[in-house]
């Protein structure tokens, strides 16, 4: 073709990067570019540079609000996405592990300091977990009849509230109170619940819609469980 010298300044890589960023490739050519991006940082950087050059053009596109329920669809798909494998998930798991370890260390240290200072009676502790992932750490002060619950790896659900339950000797869940993802919640246990809060008793956390009644057990999914043990 007569245009060869016109674009001879583009290396093969740069041309492929430009074509991918512009979006003109299809089929195997597009797949080739995506494979290169995944394993070749230099090539990925070429694509990113082209995306940066072209992105200001998108300012011409007038915003259109998506339907209100689209966010719910995305939230509904998140846990399934987390279960997928792949290189990225290993790195995410690594970082999440870091966050969990930090939160757990903080929770345990806090419990030790708190109870070491204020009580001689041994506190009860339970890690509410799901598949080995600690979601919350609960500590009960038997003297004060309070339960303090520290969030660990719980990922907040914007539409629902985590509710703590204590499974009574009759096997029925008793509502303890709502928890928070962002800070420790301390709840005073009513006498009936305080009497039941003993070693080897199970705790559970479910996700409840705001304002859901708690008289008859969880209405939403139970996301984790733990057993109270003496610290």
Q: Two tokens at 9? A: 């300044």
Residue among 39, 219, 225, 78 at smallest CA distance from 156: 78
Nearer to another protein, 31 or 188 (CB): 31
Strands 229-230 and 133-141: unpaired
Name the one residue in this structure whose structure tokens are 């969990």: 100
Element (H, E) at 82: helix 70-83
Binding mask 146-185 for another protein (x = CB under 8 A): -------x-xxxx----------------------x----
Nearer to another protein, 15 or 188 (CB): 15
User: Residues 11, 32, 40, 99: which binds another protein (CB under 8 A)?
Assistant: 99
- Beta pairing partners, 164: 177, 205
**Which part of the chain contacts another protein (CB under 8 A), choosing from 52-60, 170-178, 192-200, 220-228?**
52-60
Nearer to another protein, 15 or 113 (CB): 15
Residue among 4, 3, 36, 1 at smallest CA distance from 17: 36
Supply the DSSP string of 165-229, one letter for each residue: EEE-TTS-EEEEEE--SSS-EEEEPPHHHHHH--TT-EEEEEEE-TT---TTS-SS-EEEEEE-E
Element (H, E) at 161: strand 161-167
Nearer to another protein, 61 or 192 (CB): 61
User: Residues 40, 71, 122, 230: which binds another protein (CB under 8 A)?
Assistant: 71
**Which part of the chain contacts another protein (CB under 8 A), choosing from 25-33, 119-127, 194-202, 205-213?**
25-33
Interaction between residue 116 and another protein (CB under 8 A): no
User: Residues 12, 28, 57, 83: which binds another protein (CB under 8 A)?
Assistant: 57
Cβ-proximal residues to 131 (8 Å cutoff; 6+ apart), any chain: none
Nearer to another protein, 78 or 113 (CB): 78
Residues that bind another protein (CB under 8 A): 1-3, 6-7, 9-10, 15, 18-19, 21-27, 30, 45, 48, 50-67, 70-71, 73-75, 77-78, 81-82, 84, 88-89, 91-92, 95-96, 99, 153, 155-158, 181
């Amino acid at each position: 073709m007569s245009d060869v010298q016109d674009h001879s300044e583009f290396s093969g890589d740069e041309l492929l990067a430009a074509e991918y960023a512009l979006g003109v490739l299809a089929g195997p050519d597009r797949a080739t570019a995506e494979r290169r991006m995944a394993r070749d940082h230099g090539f990925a950087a070429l694509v990113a540079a082209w995306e940066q050059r072209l992105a200001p053009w998108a300012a011409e596109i007038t915003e259109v609000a998506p339907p209100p329920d689209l966010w719910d669809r995305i939230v509904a798909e998140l846990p399934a996405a987390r279960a997928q494998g792949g290189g990225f998930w290993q790195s995410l798991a690594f970082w999440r592990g870091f966050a969990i370890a930090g939160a757990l260390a903080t929770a345990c240290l806090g419990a030790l300091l708190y109870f070491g200072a204020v009580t001689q009676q041994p506190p009860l502790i339970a890690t509410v977990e799901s598949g080995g992932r600690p979601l919350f750490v609960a500590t009960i002060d038997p003297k004060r009849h309070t339960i303090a619950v520290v969030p660990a790896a719980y990922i907040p659900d914007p539409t629902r509230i985590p509710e703590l339950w204590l499974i009574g000797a009759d096997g029925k869940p008793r509502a303890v109170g709502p928890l928070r993802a962002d800070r420790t919640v301390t709840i005073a246990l009513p006498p009936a619940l305080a009497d039941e809060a003993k070693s080897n008793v199970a705790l559970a956390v479910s996700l409840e819609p705001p304002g859901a009644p708690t008289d008859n057990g969880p209405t939403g999914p139970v996301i984790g469980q733990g057993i109270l043990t003496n610290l």
